[in-house]
Amino acid sequence: MPQIDDKRRTVPSATLKTIGVKAADARVAKDWLRALDMDALRAVVAALLPVEPARLWTHGPETARAAEVWNERLGRRTPLPEEVLHDAVRTIEPVGWAPADALRGFVDLATEPRLTRDLTWTFGRYAVESAERAPGFANDTLKGAVALAAWLAHRLPAGDPVRAALPGVLAALCERLANPGLLLGLDRRADWEAFRQAAGDPDETGQGFVRHGALLFGTEGPAPVPAVRPVLLDTTGFGPDLTALFTGARPNAQEAALRLVHDARFAELLAGPGDPVAGGPDADGTWWPQDPARSVPDLVAEVAGRHGVGEDAAVLYLMLLTLPDPTDRNTARWTGWGGQRGGTARLRAAGAELAATGLVVEGSRPKAGRSLFLPGGWIRPANPHLPLERWKLPLYDLLDGETPALGVVVPTRPVAGLYREAWRRVQDGDGPRLEEPEVPRPRGRRR
């Protein structure tokens, strides 16, 4: 475990070469190991040494014994697909529960206290508090779990065993939010005193708090401590008092998570698309709903007929039109072209045919991972998000220049429905088009 106690220093390149691990992946492993009990890790390392030390050079370390000590001291965990784990750490902007920890909790749901254990909450002088030191469900759990669930539903194919855990995660979130004693401190600033005066008499006055609908305010400190009691929210994950308070305000991570947990379309996304509409699953039983040929074959035929292109070009156009990250690598993965003999040539041929129609423009843009784009504006969110066309922002409830509330830009409803919405916009005359360049106004002469 080289240098895991030093957060600032990277693992030496020579060590990485010896153990065959990439630098980015080593950072993920190093962060996880540093969070574990150090005495237990020392015991694992000690168990690697054979009883006869000379056997270390002739037979190698006692890995089986070290594994036994690991499971005794640190517990047995379900193995994770490391590529997915490392992608999550690299591409999800943390908004709560760290993606790596949340992913481990997802696959070991039954024993993960953050998803299975309710805590007792009270109002402190400055914030909502729990007197219990043991881990359990909290505000950060809600935000991080919803963000990771949405990301996994996009990152993994239907039929994947990790993706299959997502409905159980959503059910656990709903169960925790139904706890009548749960309080979530509000992640938003406002003039709470002015709000309470405008709201009038409270619906309830208790020991150290007052309640207006689902909003509660602790009254023991120097200023009101705002919180929401989720069990009192309506079926949309909101309530009249919250709606009145945040009229016109963009939802933050907490509000977006509460709404998604109550959204039937989000539940449908996590439940999975079932069998493909056309074709069948791959040999391993999985398939990608991002492939329009399998999820919306009728739209593929419609696009092909309207624009006089082949099926592959129509498939590529729908992905470019709708999805936030249709890189060449992702496109090849979703369609299966990358795993076919001549798949790269097939992707190039589809792109060339599509480019000849004028529906897309060719070019090179930083971090795009592709050479075909919709005509019109192009936005560049801050890392770790990929850039994308401005025309797509309404599909993801984003504004230009806005930081994604949940730290991810992925579908939060079934992809088939997104394809139909994007194509409907095109049919209604709201298709992508080149924008007029903004010409600066001439400056007047100084006098």
Query: Average pLDDT of 227-246?
Result: 82
With 0-12 CB in 10 A as exposed, 13-18 as middle and 19+ as buried, what is 434?
exposed
Tell me which of 156-165, 169-178, 237-246, 436-445 is least confident: 436-445
The per-residue pLDDT for 242 is 72
The per-residue pLDDT for 439 is 41
The per-residue pLDDT for 24 is 81
Mean pLDDT, rounded, of the chain: 91
Bigger pLDDT: 153 vs 234: 153
Long-range residue pairs from 133-140, CB within 8 A, at least 24 positions apart, any chain: 137/176, 137/179, 137/182, 138/114, 138/184, 139/96, 139/184, 139/185, 139/187, 139/254, 140/96, 140/97
Residue 7: which residues within 8 A CB-CB, separation 6 or more?
Answer: 31, 34
Question: Does the pLDDT of residue 123 top 70, yes or no?
Answer: yes
Q: Cα separations (Å) of 279 from 75, 328, 335, 375?
A: 42, 22, 12, 32
For 269-325, the pLDDT digits (tens) are: 999 999 999 998 999 999 999 999 999 999 999 999 999 999 999 999 999 999 999
The per-residue pLDDT for 445 is 43
Question: Does the pLDDT of residue 244 top 90, yes or no?
Answer: no
Question: Does the pLDDT of residue 158 top 90, yes or no?
Answer: yes
Query: Average pLDDT of 5-25?
Result: 86
Query: Average pLDDT of 221-247?
Result: 83
Question: Does the pLDDT of residue 151 top 60, yes or no?
Answer: yes
What percentage of the chain has pLDDT greater than the value 70?
95
Query: Average pLDDT of 254-271?
Result: 96
Give the strand order in the sheet containing 204-206: 184-185, 225-228, 215-218, 209-212, 204-206
The per-residue pLDDT for 446 is 40
Question: Does the pLDDT of residue 116 top 80, yes or no?
Answer: yes
* Both structure tokens of 356: 């000849």
Tell me which of 116-120, 319-323, 389-393, 443-447 is least confident: 443-447
The per-residue pLDDT for 29 is 85
* Both structure tokens of 59: 């037979």
Query: Average pLDDT of 19-42?
Result: 87
Whether this model's pTM surpasses 0.75 = yes
Query: Average pLDDT of 346-365?
Result: 95
* Both structure tokens of 273: 């698309």
**pLDDT grade for 444, boundaries at 50, 70 and 90:** very low
The per-residue pLDDT for 338 is 76
Residue written as token pair 């309404």: 394
For 133-147, the pLDDT digits (tens) are: 889 999 999 999 999
**pLDDT grade for 27, boundaries at 50, 70 and 90:** confident
Query: Average pLDDT of 20-43?
Result: 88
The per-residue pLDDT for 77 is 82
Query: Average pLDDT of 115-139?
Result: 93
The per-residue pLDDT for 292 is 98
Question: Does the pLDDT of residue 174 top 60, yes or no?
Answer: yes
